[in-house]
């Protein structure tokens, strides 16, 4: 008896469970007869009562603390500044390459190389113009973060958030320089 093979599932053996009104109601799943039931990997689904979501369960995330918001703002702005610096270096390299190509005046030089050079120079100037307001926003965000750190140290703040805030504050002046 122990070596018996399980019987072949029938069309009515498959069940799905629907959760409604805080209770489980199994419903039979009809399988089209044209599809062999061996292709279905369905079994009786059971959901423990502890995993059910009731109407009174609040699934929303708690609001982030002001310290966390200030920390994320500084991190985002420092990252943004780093990306703009990378973009600026890439653009200046392209300008230098285009200027070198124009000085050579090769036969291979593109006919609109002067136009491309002007466009690249304009892009460099626009990127440089971003740094002044960005640095101002970074300094404002750093000031807000310093205020939040002082407030958090006086109160009961999460130690992990406070540590992360101090690390972000330490990174900010390096990125500004």
Segment 44-83, tens digit of pLDDT? 444 444 444 555 555 677 888 899 999 999 999 999 999 9
55 located within any domain = no
Q: Are both 80 and 132 inside the same structural domain?
A: yes
Q: Are both 99 and 166 inside the same structural domain?
A: yes
159-176 and 113-154 helices cross at what angle (nearest 10)? 140
Q: Give the bridge partners for 25, in sequence order.
A: 18
2 located within any domain = no
Q: Are both 172 and 97 inside the same structural domain?
A: yes
Question: What pLDDT score does 43 carry?
Answer: 46
Q: Are both 35 and 111 inside the same structural domain?
A: no
Please list the helix, strand and coil fractions of the chain in percent, rounded to the nearest 5, in that order.
60, 5, 30
78 located within any domain = yes
Q: Are both 77 and 132 inside the same structural domain?
A: yes
Q: Give the bridge partners for 15, in sequence order.
A: 28
Q: Are both 46 and 74 inside the same structural domain?
A: no
Q: Are both 38 and 81 inside the same structural domain?
A: no
Q: How many domains does the chain have?
A: 2
Question: What pLDDT score does 121 carry?
Answer: 95
Question: What pLDDT score does 28 carry?
Answer: 47
Question: What pLDDT score does 114 carry?
Answer: 85
Q: Are both 20 and 84 inside the same structural domain?
A: no
Q: State the pTM of this model.
A: 0.60
Only one residue has tokens 């009809």, namely: 30
Model confidence at 91: pLDDT above 70: yes
15 located within any domain = yes
Q: Are both 22 and 81 inside the same structural domain?
A: no
Domain with residue 164: its CATH number is: 1.20.58.90
Task: Of 76, 73, 81, give the one whose Cα is nearest residue 141.
Answer: 73
CA distances 149 to 81, 144, 153, 159, Å, are: 23, 9, 6, 11
88 located within any domain = yes
152 located within any domain = yes
Q: Are both 16 and 98 inside the same structural domain?
A: no
Instruction: Identify which has the larger pLDDT, 172 or 173.
Output: 172
Q: Are both 78 and 162 inside the same structural domain?
A: yes
Summarize the confidence of residues 21-29 as an average pLDDT: 47
Instruction: Identify which has the larger pLDDT, 57 or 98.
Output: 98
Q: Are both 37 and 73 inside the same structural domain?
A: no
Residues 168, 163: Cα–Cα separation, whole Å: 9
113 located within any domain = yes
Question: What pLDDT score does 13 carry?
Answer: 43
Model confidence at 172: pLDDT above 60: yes
CB atoms under 10 Å from CB of 19, counted, come to 13
161 located within any domain = yes
Reported as a single tens digit per residue, the pLDDT across 118-166 is: 999 999 999 999 999 999 999 999 999 999 999 988 887 788 899 999 9
Domain enclosing residue 108, as ranges: 66-176
Instruction: Identify which has the larger pLDDT, 38 or 69.
Output: 69
């Amino acid at each position: 008896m122990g070596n018996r093979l399980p019987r072949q599932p029938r069309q009515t053996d498959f069940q799905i469970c629907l959760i409604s009104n805080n209770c489980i109601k199994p419903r039979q799943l009809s399988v089209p007869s044209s599809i062999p039931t061996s292709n279905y990997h369905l079994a009786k689904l059971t959901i423990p009562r502890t995993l059910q979501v009731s109407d009174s369960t609040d699934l929303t995330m708690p609001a982030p603390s002001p310290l966390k918001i200030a920390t994320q703002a500084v991190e985002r702005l420092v990252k943004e500044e780093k990306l703009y610096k990378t973009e600026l270096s890439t653009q200046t390299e392209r300008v230098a390459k285009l200027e070198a190509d124009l000085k050579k005046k090769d036969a291979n030089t593109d006919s609109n190389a002067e136009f491309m050079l002007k466009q690249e120079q304009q892009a460099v100037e626009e990127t440089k113009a971003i740094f002044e307001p960005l640095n101002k926003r970074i300094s404002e965000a750093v000031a807000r973060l310093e205020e939040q750190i002082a407030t958090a140290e006086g109160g009961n703040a999460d130690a992990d958030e406070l540590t992360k805030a101090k690390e972000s504050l330490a990174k900010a002046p390096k990125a500004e320089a």
